[in-house]
Amino acid sequence: MLCCVRTHPLQRFRSPLSPGSRAGLGAALVLLGFISAVEAADGSGAHYLGLMAAAPVLAAVFATWRVVLGAGAAATCAAVAFAFSEPGVSLDTAASVAAIVVVTVLATVVAGVRQRQTEHIAELSKLASVAQQAVLRPLGPQVGTLAVAARYISSTATAEIGGDLYEAIDTPYGVRMIIGDVRGKGLDAVRLASIVLGSYRHVAHERADLRAVVSDLDRAVARSVGDEDFVTAAVVEERGGTLTIVNCGHPPPLLLRRGCVIPLEPPAPAPPLGFMPVVQPRVERLEPGDRLLLFTDGLGEARRDGEFFPTADRAWRLLGHGTVADGLASLETALVEWVYGRLDDDIALVLMEYAGPRSDATAAVPSWEVGATEG
C-alpha cells in the first residue's frame, strides 16, 4: 500500500547576501568592469592589469570573505584572459596576475577577521539586551489604581549596557515604585541592578515603612559592592491618593499638575544606597489627572553644544497629552532630536498618572505612618 509522503520545498543552500555584501560585490564588479573596459580600449598590451587587485580590496571593506574571494577570483580570471590575449606573456603581466592572487588572499583573510569581529559584537549586543530585559520587566499599562509606562533609552548601539533600573508593584501598602541608577556600566552594573530589584520586589510587600524598605535595600547593596560603588534611588508610594517619596541621592521626580511642573525635592538630602542613607519622606496629596515622572540622571545630563535639555520647561507639553506611553514617546523623540542622536548616558523613564481614588479605597494614610496610626 502506497503511503502519502509529505514533501518540503528545498531549502536554500546559501542565505541571501547581506546589504553590505551586495554593496561590496557591486562596487568590486563595477571597478573590475571599468578597468577591463580601459584595458580593452587600450589594445596595445596589458598595461592596467595590476589595478584589478583593487577589486577584492574594495569588496573586503563591506562584504564577507566568500564574496571577497569571489571578487578576487573574477579579477584573476579577467587578468588571465587579458594576459593570454597577448602574443606572449611578459614578466610584468605575470607579476600583475600574481599580485592579484596575493592581494585576493590577503583581502579574504582581512574580511574573515572583520566578519568574525562583527558577529562577535552582534552576539554581545544580543546577550546584553537579553540580560537587561531579564532585569527590567515590562511595566503597565495599569498597576493598581495608576496608569504606568516605562522606557529605557540606551546611549550606545554597542554591547555596553548600564545599570539603570525601575519597577512598579501593587502591594498591600499601595502602589510602590522604584527608580535607580547603579554607578558604572557593563555586566557588573546589571548584576547589582538585579540584586537591588530582587531585594525590592521582596521587601516592598513585607515592609510597611518606606524607610525600612530603604534600609533593607541599603544592606543588600552594601553586601554586594566595593567601597566606591553605590546606587542612587527614589522609592515612591501611592496609597489612597497620598504620594510618599523617599530619595537616596537621586534626581527628584517631577509632578505634572494643571500645566505646572513641580520638582519634588526631598526635605533633606540623603546619600545613595550603600552609604547608609537616613531618609526623610516627602508627602504630597494627589489630584485626579496628576502625572509623576521618574527618571535617571542621564536625562538631566543630556545636552547639545553645552546646553542641557530643558526638561522642566518642556515636560508638560511633552508628557501631558494622550496616554502615559504617548507622553514618554514624545519625550524620547524630543530628547533624541535635542542631542542629535548622541547621548552620554543611558536613561530610564517611568511616567504614572493618578486617575482618582477607587470606590473601596481606604483612608489616605501613607505607609510610613501606618504603625503610628494603629498604635
The tally of CA atoms less than 13 A away on the side-chain side of residue 271 is 12
Place of cell 560585490: 25
Architecture of domain 136-354: 4-Layer Sandwich (3.60)
**What's the whole-number mean pLDDT along residues 51-61?**
90
What letter represents residue 315's amino acid?
Answer: A
- Kindly report which listed range (30-39, 164-173, 306-315) carries the lowest average pLDDT score: 30-39
> What cell does 340 get?
542629535
Contact indicator for 351, 327 with CB cutoff of 8 Å: yes
CA distance 335 to 346: 12
Q: Is the separation of the CB atoms in 181 and 231 below 8 Å? A: yes
The set of cell numbers assigned to 240 is 489612597
State how far the Cα of 368 lies from the Cα of 204, in Å rounded to an integer.
12
As a whole number of angstroms, the distance between CA 273 and CA 222 comes to: 8
Beta partners for residue 243, in sequence order: 238, 284
- Beta-bridged to residue 283, according to DSSP, are 244
Q: Which band of pLDDT confidence, cut at 50, 70 and 90, is reported for residue 3?
A: very low
Q: Is the pLDDT of residue 172 over 90?
A: yes
42-60 CB burial, b ≥16 within 10 A, e <16: eeeebebbbbbbbbbbbbb
User: Residue 350 above 80 pLDDT?
Assistant: yes
The predicted-structure confidence for 85-144, as pLDDT tens digits, reads as follows 777 777 888 888 899 999 999 999 999 999 898 888 778 777 766 766 667 888 989 999
Domain boundaries, the chain: 19-127, 136-354
Phi, psi of 5 (to 5 degrees): -105, 125
What letter represents residue 217's amino acid? Answer: L
Q: Which residue has the higher pLDDT, 5 or 134?
A: 134
360 band by pLDDT with thresholds 50, 70 and 90: low
Contact (Cβ atoms closer than 8 angstroms) between residue 224 and residue 196: no
Q: Cα–Cα distances in Å, from 171 out to 200, 206, 283?
A: 12, 9, 18
C-alpha to C-alpha distance for 27 and 21, rounded to whole angstroms? 10
Is the pTM here over 0.85, yes or no?
Answer: no
Q: Residue 99 — φ and ψ, nearest 5°?
A: -65, -40
Backbone CA torsion sign across 73, 79, 85, 87: negative
Three-class DSSP labels, 322-353: CCHHHHHHHHHHHHHHHCCCCCCCCEEEEEEE
Q: How many CA atoms lie within 13 A of 75 on its CB side?
A: 38
Spell out the residues 6+ positions from residue 67 whose beta carbon is closer than 8 angstroms to its own: 17, 21, 24, 25, 59, 111
Could you report the per-residue pLDDT of 188-224, keeping only the tens digit for each? 888 899 999 999 999 999 999 999 999 999 999 999 8
CA neighbor of 217 nearest in space, from 165, 268, 252: 165
Is the pLDDT confidence value at 1 over 70? no
> 303-304 and 260-263: which strand pairing?
unpaired
